[in-house]
């Protein structure tokens, strides 16, 4: 029996939910080695270790998506966490990466549009902005006046549509009111340079940000009818940034 086969079998079984069939598929194990492993897996000490490990993974996942899960029915929360951990989730030692991946997982399993999806995207966006906020320095707006200045949308920013006032959603989550009906979208900008990482945004800002999936010159943006004040607002908030080529020249 190779060490990697033994470790893989242990890892699979520790992560499996209680009662799941032990899987040694694809592992270089003899029949006697498989039998010996089954005896280990069925021992009370190993099962206790597996239960503790699974509980830790489930708790870690729940903390990483606390806001989003809070708006979902209890049964749905448990099912999402169970499915995530069954697939190997909850084990990443980097909490932010784990939380972001779990939020992406949830986003694919809730209705679109819905309050749950909106909060999921908001929580994910805040996580991305917060990850770089400590290193963020508001750039000088004078750079935008340079003829060759090119900008693009920042990967650490996002525009999120909420279909109710955020305060109403939070009150509902806290049990202080009913979940509001779906309304016309309220757009929030989430970016690392904003106090609290978020503020209300307008349609012009959102349209400009979406147009910058590919880099463009500031001069071109102005010729397209964008207002310099809008470009500056997104620039200082960290929602748009100079392209890699521009940064290399500075």
**89-124: pLDDT as tens digits:** 887 778 889 999 999 999 999 999 999 999 999 999
* 239 pLDDT tier (thresholds 50, 70, 90): very high
pLDDT at position 244 is: 55
Mean pLDDT calculated for residue range 79-95: 86
Tokens 């520790």 belong to: 14
DSSP label at residue 1: -
The structure's pTM equals: 0.80
CATH code 3.90.930.50 for 135-250: yes
pLDDT at position 249 is: 44
Q: Is residue 157 within 8 Å of 239, Cβ to Cβ? A: yes
pLDDT at position 43 is: 75
**210-233: pLDDT as tens digits:** 999 999 999 999 999 999 999 999
pLDDT at position 164 is: 96
pLDDT at position 55 is: 85
pLDDT at position 125 is: 98
Mean pLDDT calculated for residue range 176-182: 91
């Amino acid at each position: 029996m190779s060490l990697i086969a033994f470790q893989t079998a242990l890892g699979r079984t520790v992560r499996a939910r209680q009662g799941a069939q032990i899987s040694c598929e694809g592992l270089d194990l003899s029949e006697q080695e498989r039998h010996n492993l089954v005896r280990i897996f069925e021992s009370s000490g190993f099962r206790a270790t597996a239960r503790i490990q699974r509980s830790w993974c489930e708790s870690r996942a729940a903390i990483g998506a606390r806001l989003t899960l809070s708006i979902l029915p209890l049964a749905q929360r448990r099912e999402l966490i169970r499915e995530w951990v069954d697939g190997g989730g909850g084990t990443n030692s980097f909490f932010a990466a784990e939380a972001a991946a779990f939020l992406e997982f949830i986003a694919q399993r809730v209705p679109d549009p819905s309050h749950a999806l909106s909060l999921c995207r908001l929580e994910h966006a805040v996580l991305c902005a917060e990850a770089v906020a400590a290193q963020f320095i508001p750039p000088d707006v004078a750079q935008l006046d340079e003829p060759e200045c090119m900008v693009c949308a920042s990967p650490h920013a996002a525009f999120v549509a909420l279909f109710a006032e955020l305060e109403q959603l939070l009150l509902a989550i806290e049990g202080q009111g009913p979940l509001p009906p779906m309304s016309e979208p309220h757009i929030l900008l989430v970016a690392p340079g904003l106090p609290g990482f978020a503020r209300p945004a307008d349609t012009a800002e959102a349209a400009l940000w979406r147009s910058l999936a590919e880099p463009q010159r500031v001069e071109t943006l102005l010729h397209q009818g964008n207002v310099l004040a809008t470009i500056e607002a997104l620039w200082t908030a960290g929602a748009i940034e100079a392209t890699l080529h521009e940064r290399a020249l500075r």
